[in-house]
Amino acid sequence: MNFRSDNETPVNETILRAIIDANHGFEESYGYDSYSNLFNKQCQNLFQCWVETLPLATGTAANSIAMALCCPPYGAIFCHESAHLNADECGAPEMFTGGAKLIPLPGQHGKIDVDILEKKLASSGRHGEHEVLSSVISLTQSTEAGTVYTLDELKTFKKLKEKYQVALHMDGARFANALVSLNCTAAEMTWQSGIDLLSFGATKNGAMMAESLLVFNPKYTTQILRHRKRSGHLISKMRYITSQLVAYLNDDLWIKLARHANEQAHYFATQVESQIELIHPVEANEVFCRLSTSKILSLKAQGYEFHVWPDSDDIIRLVFSHATERKDVNQLVKAIELLY
C-alpha cells in the first residue's frame, strides 16, 4: 500500500482519456497546438488576469526557467532550506541562471522565517559588488513539510518583495492542495499576494507529466520561449502535455482531486493523533509523524510503503493523493493502532 509519494500514483482516468482524445488528426507542433491556446485562456479565466503560460514536462524545469527569467547570474535566490529548488534539483536553478546563488533559510514547518529573511535582505548590499544581488524570494506552496502559507503570511512576503525590489516566485508543485486548504481564489493566492511567477504543478495531482510556468508580471517574460527551447522543454508534440492541462482544469477536476487527497490526510491525522506525534500541522496532503525504528520496520514488513525522512531515523512522511482510497487509509490506521 503506497503512501510514499504523489509521484507514484496512477494517472487520473479523465486526464488519460483526454490524451487519447487528443490523439487523432494533425495538430500544430512546438506549442502552437489548440490545447496550448485553450490552456492559456483557462488560466486567464482562473486567475482573472493576463498571464503568460509555458507548458513543461517537469517541475524542476518550471522552477529553473522561472529563476532564469527573474534572476541575473550574479543574483541571490532566497528559499527555505528544504525547498525542492535547494535540496532536490541538482543545481539546475544555479545552472539555468548562469550561476546565481541560492540562499537557503531556516524556518519552522517548512516555512521561511520572515525575520531571518528580512535581516538578510536588509543587510545585503553592504559589500557592494563583492556580494550577490538580492533578486528573488521563492516560496513553496504547499511546503515540503505539508504546511500552507496563509494569505496573511503571503502578504508579509509581498511587503518584503516591494521594499527590497525583488521578484516573488511560488513553487506550486502542490498548488491545488494549498488552494483547497486555504479555500481562497487562485488570484488571491498568487498575483494578489505579489507572486510574479508560479510553477504550476499537475503531475502529482493526477496528470501523467504536465507542469507549467505561469508568469503574471510581464517584466519577467523576456525571451521566455527561447528559455524553454534552450532547456529542452519545447516538446514537439506539445498537445500531449497541454491536453492534460486542459482536462486538469476543466470542470474543476484539479480541485476535486486535491480535495480528495487533503481529506484523506486530515482523516488519517485525526484518527492517529492521540497515539503518535505529528511533526508538522497537517494542512495539505502530507503527514509527517514520529515512530520508533521497530514500529517503522513492522509497518514496512506489512507492506506499507513510505519514506523515512532523510537525516532522521524516526520521522516518516505519508503522502495522500487523488488515488488514495479511504479503505487503505483505514487499514493503515488499524495497523498503527495494533503497534501500541
Ligand X SMILES: Cc1ncc(COP(=O)(O)O)c(C=O)c1O
- What minimum distance in Å lies between the beta carbon of 61 and ligand X? 7
Residue 217 in contact with residue 189, Cβ under 8 Å?
no
**Residue tagged 485553450 (cell numbers):** 38
Q: Distance (Å, rounded) from C-alpha 108 to C-alpha 145?
A: 9
- What minimum distance in Å lies between the beta carbon of 67 and ligand X? 12
Give me 289's grid cell. 509523524
Indicate the burial class of 155 (C-beta count within 10 angstroms; 0-12, 13-18, 19 or more): middle
Nearer to ligand X, 155 or 307 (CB): 307
Helices then strands, each counted (H, E), the chain: 14, 11
- What minimum distance in Å lies between the beta carbon of 141 and ligand X? 9
- What minimum distance in Å lies between the beta carbon of 307 and ligand X? 11
**Residue tagged 509521484 (cell numbers):** 7
- What minimum distance in Å lies between the beta carbon of 104 and ligand X? 14
Residue 315 in contact with residue 290, Cβ under 8 Å?
yes
Nearer to ligand X, 144 or 283 (CB): 144
Nearer to ligand X, 166 or 210 (CB): 210
**Residue tagged 500500500 (cell numbers):** 1
**Residue tagged 541562471 (cell numbers):** 97
Query: Between the CA of residue 268 and those of 273, 304, 321, what are the distances in Å?
Result: 8, 14, 12
- What minimum distance in Å lies between the beta carbon of 144 and ligand X? 6
Give me 327's grid cell. 479503505
In sequence order, which residues have a C-beta less than 8 Å from that of residue 165 and are 6 or more positions away?
A: none
Q: Distance (Å, rounded) from C-alpha 288 to C-alpha 70?
A: 33
Nearer to ligand X, 52 or 211 (CB): 211
The CB-nearest residue to ligand X is 59
**Residue tagged 482519456 (cell numbers):** 17
- What minimum distance in Å lies between the beta carbon of 170 and ligand X? 10
Contacts to ligand X by CB under 6 A: 7, 58-60, 84, 140, 144, 171, 173, 203
In sequence order, which residues have a C-beta less than 8 Å from that of residue 145 and are 6 or more positions away?
A: 82, 109, 110, 111, 279, 280, 286, 288
Residue 50, Cβ neighbours under 10 Å: how many? Answer: 12
In sequence order, which residues have a C-beta less than 8 Å from that of residue 160 and are 6 or more positions away?
A: 114, 117, 118, 121, 137, 166
- What minimum distance in Å lies between the beta carbon of 64 and ligand X? 9
Nearer to ligand X, 173 or 279 (CB): 173
Give me 173's grid cell. 508543485
